[in-house]
Amino acid sequence: MANYNKVILVGNITRDPQLKYLPSQTAVCEFGLAINHRWRSADGEQKEDTCFIDCQVFGKQAETFNQYMTKGRSVLVEGRLQLDRWESQDGQKRSKHRVFVQSFQFLGQGGGQGGGQGRTAPQQGQSNQPPAQSPHDDYGEGYDNPPQQQNEPSPPPGDDIPF
């Protein structure tokens, strides 16, 4: 059976991006993304739900993202979904989903506070460079799963697509 892991999300940044560097000097930018879902219930009441997703972008893209994006800005991200699992200090098993961003596009000022404060972004910007790669050991503690190259083979057309 064929496998395919691609996520496309549009949302607002929940906190200012945090730029770090791995021992290999590869840039890593971490940020949170809030995606709102609005719908009307059976009784006609307007409802809203928000999904919060942690994201990471690597390499030159990480530096670009950190330079232009701030809390509240809107962004479209494409990437690979991964489930991180760990055990907390009190012994409880924890997990959360994370998106390893492979490309992104700046969308606008967003709906939150702080959009564009202190930084100016181009009207539209897009980065399609694959994330920088380094050996598995260079990711250090907390980076046990390095991002995959962007040029993964596409699934073949045909009946193997799972939808």
**What pLDDT was estimated at residue 120?**
36
Looking at residue 31, its pLDDT comes to: 96
Residue 108: what pLDDT?
75
Query: Is 31 part of a structural domain of the chain?
Result: yes
pLDDT at residue 1, as a whole number: 85
Q: What is the pLDDT of residue 116?
A: 36
> Does any domain span residue 147?
no
Q: What is the CATH number of the domain that holds 92?
A: 2.40.50.140
Which pLDDT value is given to residue 53? 95
Domain presence at residue 82 = yes
Query: Residue 102's pLDDT is what?
Result: 95
Tell me if 102 is assigned to some domain. yes
Rounded Cα distance between 81 and 98, Å, is 6
**What is the rounded distance in angstroms from the CA atom of residue 121 to the CA atom of residue 108?**
9
For residue 162, tell me if it sits in a domain: no
For the chain, the distance separating the N- and C-terminal CA atoms, rounded to the nearest angstrom, is 13
pLDDT per residue as tens, the chain (163 positions): 899 999 999 999 999 999 999 999 999 999 999 999 998 999 999 999 999 999 999 999 999 999 999 999 999 999 999 999 999 999 999 999 999 999 999 997 654 443 333 333 333 344 444 434 333 333 333 444 444 434 444 444 445 545 4
Domain assignment present for residue 20? The answer is yes
Supply φ then ψ for residue 51, to 5 degrees: -105, 130
What is the total count of domains within the chain? 1
Which amino acid, residue 153? Answer: P
> Would 152 be classed as within a structural domain?
no
| Enclosing domain of residue 36 | 7-139
Are the C-beta atoms of residues 99 and 79 closer than 8 Å to each other?
yes
Q: Is residue 150 part of a domain?
A: no
